[in-house]
Structure 1
Amino acid sequence: MPPRRGHDARATGPRDRREAAPHADAVTPRDPAPRAPARRGEEVRLHGLNAVRALFQARPEALRKLYLTQARVPALKPLLAWCVANRVGYRVVEEADLNKLAASAHHEGVVADVLRRPPLTLEAWLAALPAGPALALWLDGVGNPHNFGAILRSAAHFGVAGLLLPQDSPLALSGAAARVAEGGAEAVPLVQAGDSASAFATLRAAGFGLAATLVEGGDNLFAAKLPQRLVYVMGAEGEGMDRNLAKTCDLTLSIPGTGRVESLNVASATAVLLAQWASHRA
């Protein structure tokens, strides 16, 4: 017989429907084990089916609470069974509740509170990096969560080894970025790289070339010889690449186009840049 209600974590949240989950035979309600509360900033609220599935595949232990609609129960049966076995609370709720939890209607029927994956230091990232070709992105001023999510998705697709964040960068994973990334957020590590001068020196010592990406004035991306170990330095939305920072890079690159539009946005440009590097490795 299927259970008559979802697993109640006895936490504040939307109204628990306490209805049977069809075909959820493996799910048996249990009282959750007490958990130490996360400190402020340690948790992030994810939404989106692929984002939550990727989290479950990569870091199930990071899951703290799950909310889902009745329609999503069949697709998430393994996750629900894991929640029961590990005493992680979940609730079957109405669509309107998820809209409030996600602060968006684009939640795809599931919301999860999870522990953030702490960023790596540059030294730890380099120590774990295999020898041979490697590609990374330095995100200088990227702040829009949808652009960040699209960059994560492209980075995961092309096998980017890490996203390097400069000193004092406020960029962090959000629910919106994770949804747009479609699972890519769990595939690409974030690296707190520190100040650009020290980080660039460390990267060069590890065999990386640094390529500034300019709207115009750089070498033609499609004619340039790209190093096997490369960091693309991406500029901010709107303002573009900081010219002083560009001068400290080893090469400058631009993506040629028809001129009918001023430029690609940072997420679209990133996808083109990554594809060009990958084509050199094919």
Structure 2
Amino acid sequence: MTDIPRKNRKPLVDSPWKQSASRPLREHSAAATDAPRERKPLRPSGELRLYGLNACRAAFANRPQDLRKVYLSEARVADLKPVLAWCVKHRLGYRVVETMDLDKLTGSRHHEGVCFEMLRHPPKGLADLLADLPAAPAPALLIWLDGVGNPHNLGALLRSAAHFDVAGVIVPTSSSLDLSGAAARVAEGGAEFVPMARVDDVPAALQALRAAGFDVVATVPAGAADLYASRLAARSVLVFGAEGEGMSRELIAAATQRLSIPGSGRVESLNIAASAAVLLAEYWRQTRR
């Protein structure tokens, strides 16, 4: 990877990575690395490669101290001038690169001309999540994902969750679901505002939620109470299962309510992201009156 030539103009800001185009960059503590050749790049376990303009802007606005590296296209220089100024001030590396390099760095063509390497949010447990919430009976909404694994569904759900002020998402430790660059891009910045917590012991987690004043609401495709004829508790945990397999019997049995979204019946059900948006909007309508 080589720097893009800057003909007849001065650079916007001086990068600590700036070198002669004839000198290849080498890995060391204060320099950039070349774009990895693999489709899915290796990275330190404590870092996440974010991409997409809104996702990167939200992460920088929310926690600029966690920024580690910036890659961007020439077309994004003006859009990200404050970020580049931060990089210069704090001696963080940034590079203006070609689109094909961003394709390789992100493993995607949907990067929108920017890629940030950020520290991941510190992992949370359910106790941490509950400690951050107002005490009962104050309203609070949580989501529990059981078996959901598609990063794009997670991203769309996080976007809706941020819009409707969801306090957090609960995921079993056994689940492979985690925040990825793809999920963060689809979330359009929403991933910054909805923490994810992992639980090891499902029965203990359900007991802790009940002790904190939460009703557990299982969402099923059909055969349950009509969402629009039901009253949602001010403190609710909405449980969504994987498409096809659905949620575990344990969670269905533990539910205070079982709800379905009424519709024409022409399709079996909505996907996870669409279902979540409908449930969250109805909760908002009922509790914000």
TM-score (norm 2): 0.87
Counterpart in the other structure of 1:29: 15
On the 8 A contact 1:62/1:115 being kept in 2, the answer is: yes
Q: Which amino acid aligns with 2:16?
A: R
Q: Between the two proteins, what is the percent identity of the paired residues?
A: 55
What is the 5 A alignment of 1:3-42?
14-17=1-4, 19=6, 25=12, 27-30=13-16, 34=29, 40-42=44-46
Equivalent residue of 1:74, what SS? coil
Report deviation, 1:195. Answer: 1.9
* Residue pair 2:17, 2:95 contacting (<8 A) in 1 also: no
2:113 to 105, 109, 115: 109
Deviation at 1:242, TM superposition (A): 2.2
Aligned residue pairs, count: 266
Mapping 1:38-117, distance limit 5 Å: 40-117=44-121
The alignment's TM-score, normalised by the length of structure 1, stands at 0.89
Q: 1:76 to 1:199 in 2, by over 3 A?
A: same
Which residue is equivalent to 2:155? Answer: 149
Q: Which runs of 5+ in 2 are unaligned?
A: 19-27, 31-41
2:223 partner letter: G
| Aligned-partner residue type, residue 129 of structure 1 | L
Code of the aligned partner of 1:190: M
For 1:218, the equivalent position in structure 2 comes to 224
- For residue 237 of structure 1, what is the aligned residue in structure 2? 243
Q: What letter is aligned with 1:117?
A: H
Runs of 5+ unmatched residues, structure 1: 1-13
Distance, in Å, in 2 between the alignment partners of 1:147 and 1:23 is 43
CA RMSD of aligned residues (A): 2.1
- Structure 1 stretch displaced more, 234-243 or 81-90: 234-243
Contact 1:24 1:77 (C-alpha < 8 Å) held by counterparts: no
Partner of 1:17, secondary structure, is coil
SS in 1 for 2:229: coil
Following the alignment from structure 1 to structure 2, what is the Cα–Cα distance between the partners of residues 60 and 70?
A: 22
The alpha-carbon deviation at position 171 of structure 1 amounts to 1.3
